[in-house]
Structure 1
Amino acid sequence: MFMELSDTYKTLAEPAEGLYKEKGSKFLAFAWPVETEIEIKELIDQVKARYYDARHHCYAWQLGNDGMHFRVNDDGEPSGTAGKPIHGQIKSYEITNVLIVVVRYFGGTKLGTSGLIQAYKESAADAISNGIIVERTIDKQLTIHFAYENMNDAMRVIKEMEPAIVHQDFNLRCEMVLSIRESKYMELSSRFEQLMGVSLVDEKP
């Protein structure tokens, strides 16, 4: 019996934008679904290049399913007034694998600490609410090798367990790269391990 693991998470289906105005200041919010820190850095750099004349480019991002892998940045705003309230909205909507950047154009009137917190919170919330939240599964990949005479046995397991076939090569030696949601990974591995003539190679998620 295999225990069901928490292998789903909520994120944005596609990029979204939001806007908040207060006392002449304009806060442009941009939210993206993301997978890696490299992707995050590229997006932040793109925003800074496009809105080079803005005073602040504040952001927050979160990756992974445990809520522990995140970063906030106030980009010159008073500590805790920008990145933290942006991240607060990511947590409030219970989404992850998300980057939100809020670009501020200063309107000449200072908003104060509470005003800034409210502005960054509302602009981030607007971007998320304008987006589409979807549920995704955390998947893991598995590579199997087998001889032609073992193909029927291997394909029977694939038909029953329904992993996605990422890659297959039936030339000199049969090789298949499969992807399945994390909670079913151990069961799939076990099924293949019980087959004669099938060998497994673990892949990264």
Structure 2
Amino acid sequence: MLDLYKTVYRGGEAEIVEKKSRFIATVRLVETEEEALQFIEEMRKRYWNANHNCFAYVIGERRETVRASDDGEPSGTAGRPMLDVLLGEELYNTAVVVTRYFGGTLLGTGGLVRAYSKAVQEGLKNTVLIEKKSGSLMEIRTDYTGVGKIQYLLGQKKIPVLQADYTDIVALRVILPVREEKKFCQDVTEATNGKAEIRKEETLYYAELDGRILMGEEMKA
């Protein structure tokens, strides 16, 4: 797993006009190449009467699948510049289609590169992005004398409490970056003189958005 990576939470759209040509950018989360191809086909059907539907996408934790298409525009003037924006923003599992309605005036090679790049940039401004972090989901069990110390430690490190159960003991479920797991366990043990029981439930990706913790399918709008 990557320590963290940036991707789409909620896709967005934007339109720019250059010399009467309309460029409409649509950004979408895609996790497989099949999803990317379905998205591209969806855009082609939506904008069936457009002159061009150019696309670019990056898929995989190691960006194993990277594709771009000029869709009839001069070679290297659309797909590659669009892809460069995605890579420059360090995005993963992201696809973008830029639809062009020709306005009657040629933009030239440089003009096309700038227009397609700008369209993607504007589309990303209207897209909600999140950082997915590799996290450790942990359960801490302690008696009531250790709760205050653990809560203080969690507050210091800004580690969110997902669930708290108060019975004869206190059980707290928390999530934190994997790279901080070892030090955190040491700190909890030290703070409670070894009386707290710490159990790792699983390693998974999570994200923070507007003060909420997102996991699993919650990371898709």
TM, length-normalised to structure 1: 0.66
The alignment's C-alpha RMSD in Å is 1.7
**In the alignment, which residue of structure 1 is the partner of 2:131?**
135
**In the alignment, which residue of structure 2 is the partner of 1:160?**
199
Deviation at 1:64?
A: 1.7
Deviation at 1:162?
A: 2.4
Deviations along 1:40-61, one digit per CA (max 9) or x if unpaired, are: 1111111101110000000000
Deviation at 1:137?
A: 4.1
**In the alignment, which residue of structure 2 is the partner of 1:194?**
none
Q: Which amino acid aligns with 2:47?
A: Y
Structure 2: segments with no counterpart, 5+ residues: 136-197, 206-221
Q: Which amino acid aligns with 1:53?
A: N
d(CA) in 2 for partners of 1:138, 1:58 = 33
Structure 1: segments with no counterpart, 5+ residues: 140-158, 164-179, 183-205
Pick one of 157, 160, 181 that aligns with 2:204.
181
Tell which deviates more after alignment, 52-61 or 11-20.
11-20
Equivalences for 1:1-205 in 2 at 5 Å?
6-137=2-133, 160-163=199-202, 180-181=203-204
Q: Check the 8 A contact 2:7/2:93 in 1, yes or no.
A: yes
Q: Which amino acid aligns with 1:123?
A: A
d(CA) in 2 for partners of 1:78, 1:68 = 26
Deviations along 1:4-42, one digit per CA (max 9) or x if unpaired, are: x63421001111011111111000000001101111111
After superposing on structure 2, the runs of 4+ consecutive aligned residues of structure 1 that deviate more than 6 Å are: none
Q: Percent identity?
A: 38
Deviation at 1:66?
A: 2.5
Deviation at 1:81?
A: 0.3
Q: Check the 8 A contact 1:61/1:99 in 2, yes or no.
A: yes
Q: Check the 8 A contact 2:33/2:65 in 1, yes or no.
A: no
TM, length-normalised to structure 2: 0.61
Deviations along 1:74-109, one digit per CA (max 9) or x if unpaired, are: 000000000011111101111110000000000000
Q: Which amino acid aligns with 2:199?
A: E
d(CA) in 2 for partners of 1:41, 1:86 = 16
Deviation at 1:68?
A: 4.3
Deviation at 1:138?
A: 6.2
Q: Check the 8 A contact 1:11/1:96 in 2, yes or no.
A: yes
